[in-house]
């Protein structure tokens, strides 16, 4: 049978979701726990490849197993075998054809910035500290410009192949205490796209980039490259599906 | 001169605030950073002795130094020398007689519970997960009963000497997303008092203790001992002073 799981992880100690020889990855952690529980060698497929140091509240993975345990037993047993920075939040039996990456309707990412002149020990793994004064209105304006279908080539890290057109269904920036919280929902994202969008918006807030330059970056016209926001502020909040399963977390 | 600092720390990797031979403590971390910066051997005094694994957003410490650097330089230099799980948020020159413990008017502690049937990797260091159904109204009722001057002997860990009467100026419990957040402000707290109060309130929420038993515990009449909530959910939010300095964080 094929199972899909919603997985939360603290990505601090991992070199990203995807398996890489010789370094810890979320995928490897899940596959190890599955092997311990089922005795099978199981390949796990994820909805999105989060980078090193990036977190997830609602990553969705799927895999095939010969095991006849119930889904509830799988969730409990995996949480027993997984390290404390990875946990299965829920699980569900899905169609044999289910593919968590291809069938995803949208992904939602959150990026958290702390506005502080000093480091924040308690939130150092989950937020990025920005000490300079920021023009938050300009940042909110810039963030809204990202909504829609654009060529996000200027916001992409190294790309192996394929086009750079992507659609953002939603993009917003809100104040939350001493934090600025970005939320992006899109059909799919280019490598490093969220961190580069956040980096560019922060550059607008610092006055290092004008709103005009930012808009030209979205059109692919502006060669000027913004900084890439560091990974610890980023979290894959959830993945949305149609008929097969809904992996989103509130 | 005497300086007072507001200090934030992630207490996960420390055996509490106070120096203990052979194991890491917050006090030792601060004293090491002071020695590196000033060359002096400096003894640091704190407002409260947080236990192993307990955090602080606004611990207040003071110390004497022969150094003539400005307070801003002290803050920057200490943040350079401190490990990434301890940071100085602000500093202030204070009277020579200032004592962060004796002069504190009140301390505010926060305790965070996540209501979830599964672990939370991202918040595992800063919150306690409770999976059973909870009667939150009963818990809110119980929390309010704690306000005022009481003999908190039944809520105290091992006590070396002194009385067990303490005054709670405020005690409240609120819902925040999937969390329950306690906030307590009091003149002073007995060892483990907050974690034992939270443990007892959670026992009320689970139906393991009646509100009547809880009230008798406050009166010192009830021998029944509640569980002690684990340290990672607890945070010293701030310490309030009168004329000397205000170490509270919002």
A23-67 pLDDT, tens per residue?
Answer: 999 999 999 999 999 999 999 999 999 999 999 999 999 999 999
CA distance B214 to chain A (A): 33
Helix (H) or strand (E) holding A140: helix A136-145
CA distance A35 to A43: 10
Q: Is 90 exceeded by the pLDDT of residue B199?
A: yes
Q: Which residues are paired to A150 by β-bridges? A: A166
For domain B2-103, the CATH class is alpha beta
Q: How far is A111 from chain B (nearest CA, A)?
A: 14
pTM of the model: 0.92
CA A116 to chain centroid, in Å, comes to 24
B88 in contact with chain A, both atoms CB, cutoff 8 A: yes
Which residues of A have a catalytic role annotated? 51
Interface residue A218 vs chain B (CB under 8 A)? no
Q: What is the pLDDT of residues A215-240, one digit of tens each?
A: 999 987 766 677 899 999 999 999 99
CATH class of B106-237: alpha beta
Asked if A118 and B55 come within 8 Å (Cβ–Cβ), the reply is no
pLDDT surpasses 60 at B223:
yes
Range list of β-strands (E), chain A = 2-9, 45-46, 55-64, 86-94, 106-115, 128-130, 148-151, 165-176, 179-186, 234-240
CA distance B235 to chain A (A): 10
Interchain CB distance below 8 Å, A119 and B87: yes
Of B118, B122, B178, the CB nearest to A126: B122
A74 inside 8 A of chain B by CB? no
Q: Residue A223: its pLDDT value, please?
A: 67
Q: Which chain B residue has the Cα nearest residue A125? A: B122
Could you give the CA distance from residue A56 to residue A37 in angstroms, rounded to a whole number?
23
Asked if A177's CB is within 8 angstroms of B84's CB, the reply is no
Q: Who contacts A220 (Cβ-Cβ below 8 Å, separation ≥6)?
A: A151, A153, A154
- In sequence order, the β-bridge partners of residue A180 are A113, A175
Closest Cα of chain B to A153: distance in Å? 31
Candidates A8, A118, A122; nearest CB to B122: A8
Cβ of residue A126 closer than 8 Å to a chain B Cβ: yes
Reported in sequence order, the residue ranges of chain B that DSSP labels E, i.e. its strands, are 2-9, 45-46, 55-64, 86-94, 106-115, 128-130, 148-151, 165-176, 179-186, 234-240
pLDDT band at A248 (very low <50, low <70, confident <90, very high): very low
Cβ of B228 under 8 Å from any chain A Cβ?
no
To test the contact with chain B by mutation, choose from A12, A72, A118 the residue with the greatest count of B C-beta atoms within 10 A, namely: A118
- How far is CA A79 from each of CA A34, A45, A50, rounded to the nearest angstrom? 10, 18, 21
Q: Among A131-140, B150-159, B219-228, which stretch is predicted with the lowest mean pLDDT?
A: B219-228
CB count in 10 Å sphere of residue A222: 18
The two domains A2-103 and A106-237 share their CATH topology (first three levels equal)? yes
A67 shares contact with chain B (CB less than 8 Å)? no
B84 part of contact set with chain A, CB < 8 Å: yes
Contact between chains at B124 and A10 (C-beta distance less than 8 A):
yes
Q: Give the pLDDT confidence score for residue A250 in this predicted structure.
A: 36
Which residue is closest to B83 within chain A, CA to CA? A121
Chain B, residues 89-118, CB within 8 A of chain A, namely: 89-90, 116, 118
Tokens standing for B32? 């090491």
Interface check B240 vs A, CB under 8 A: no
pLDDT value at position A157? 81
Question: Do the chains contact at B121 and A85, CB–CB below 8 Å?
Answer: yes
Model confidence at B159: pLDDT above 50? yes
Q: Are B55 and B9 in contact (CB under 8 A)?
A: yes
What pLDDT, on a 0 to 100 scale, did the predictor assign at position B160?
67
Chain A residues 4-23 within an 8 A CB cutoff of chain B: 8-10
Average pLDDT, chain B: 93
B242 or B236, which is more confident? Answer: B236
Per-residue pLDDT at A202 exceeds 60: yes
Residue of chain A minimizing CA distance to B57? A122
A79 touching chain B per CB within 8 A: yes
Spell out the domain ranges in chain A.
2-103, 106-237
Q: How far is B166 from chain A (nearest CA, A)?
A: 29
């Amino acid at each position: 049978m094929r199972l899909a799981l919603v997985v939360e992880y603290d990505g601090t100690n991992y070199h990203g979701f995807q398996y890489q020889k010789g370094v810890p990855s979320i995928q490897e952690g899940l596959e190890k726990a599955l092997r311990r529980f089922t005795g099978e060698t199981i390949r796990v497929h994820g909805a999105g490849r989060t980078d090193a140091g990036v977190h997830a509240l609602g990553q969705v993975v799927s895999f095939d197993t010969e095991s006849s345990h119930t889904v509830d037993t799988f969730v409990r047993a995996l949480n027993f075998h997984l390290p404390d920075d990875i946990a299965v939040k829920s699980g569900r039996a899905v169609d044999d054809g289910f593919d968590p990456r291809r069938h995803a309707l949208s992904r939602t990412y959150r990026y958290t910035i702390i506005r502080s002149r000093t480091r924040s020990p308690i939130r150092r793994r989950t937020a990025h500290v920005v000490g300079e004064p920021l023009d938050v209105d300009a940042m909110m304006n810039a963030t809204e410009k990202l909504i829609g279908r654009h060529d996000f080539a200027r916001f992409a890290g190294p790309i192996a192949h394929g086009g750079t057109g992507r659609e953002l269904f939603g993009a917003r920036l809100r104040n939350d205490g001493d934090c600025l919280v970005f939320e992006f929902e899109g059909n799919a994202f280019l490598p490093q796209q969220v961190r580069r969008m956040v980096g560019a918006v922060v550059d607008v807030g610092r006055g290092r980039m004008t709103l005009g330059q930012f808009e030209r970056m979205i059109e692919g016209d502006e060669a000027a490259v913004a900084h890439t926001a560091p990974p610890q502020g980023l979290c894959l909040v959830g993945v949305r599906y149609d008929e097969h399963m809904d992996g989103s977390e509130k």
